Amino acid sequence: MSSQFTLRALLAGAALLIAPLATASTLPNPAADAPLATNHGSSKAVLAGGCFWGLQAVFQHVKGVTHVTAGYSGGSADTASYETVSEGNTGHAESVEVTYDPAQVTFGTLLKVYFEIAHDPTELNRQGPDTGTQYRSAIFFAAPEQQKVAQDYIAQLDAAKAFPKPIVTRVVPLKAFYAAEAYHQDYATLHPNQPYIAYYDLPKVANLQKEMPELYVAPVTN
């Protein structure tokens, strides 16, 4: 267990004494989103926004998502390990690769979950107690269509003043995604009583069920 891993648990314990942050109000649907595909298939979205435990936990409950992998994106293969990424100077961000059926859920809908439920897109290089560029908010697009939907949605949300501060989420090309170590996969599902998970991540899953019940499903098992 790294010092960063230990600090995360300690901060979570201390955070139990603090009132939870208010969640954002319900966001509009992305105006530039593509329609659902006419045929079933498999597409991927790579998203970063704080600790990958919480991101994975949220997207595992989204209808149409078939698999979610915690990992790293933004840096090179030789630095794609938890101990190294935690130093904060690898270029990597803790990320998730979301595999989904575009006939059941669109990329834009995934972004709505990402912005409204999964993290706070107005925090620069941090989420909650986690600080550093490895916790930055970023959308790694794999195709021009993903880039357009993401950039247009950010502009739409900023124009509507959907958040009290401007969105700082970066929209950048996907170079590669590297799966994290096995002990990070399904972490929230396997450790629901861990203080960090109980305080920061399970409330996000509960918010998904409350705010977007039409999207909420039993968790995808990886």
Q: Coil, strand or helix: which one is 38?
A: coil
Strands 137-141 and 170-173: parallel
DSSP 62: B
- Which parts of the chain are beta strand (E)? 43-49, 65-73, 93-100, 126-127, 130-131, 137-141, 170-173, 177-179
As annotated, the active-site residues are 51
Q: Is 158 exposed, middle or buried (0-12, 13-18, 19+ CB in 10 A)?
A: middle
- Report how many helices (DSSP H) and strands (DSSP E) the chain contains, helices first: 8, 8
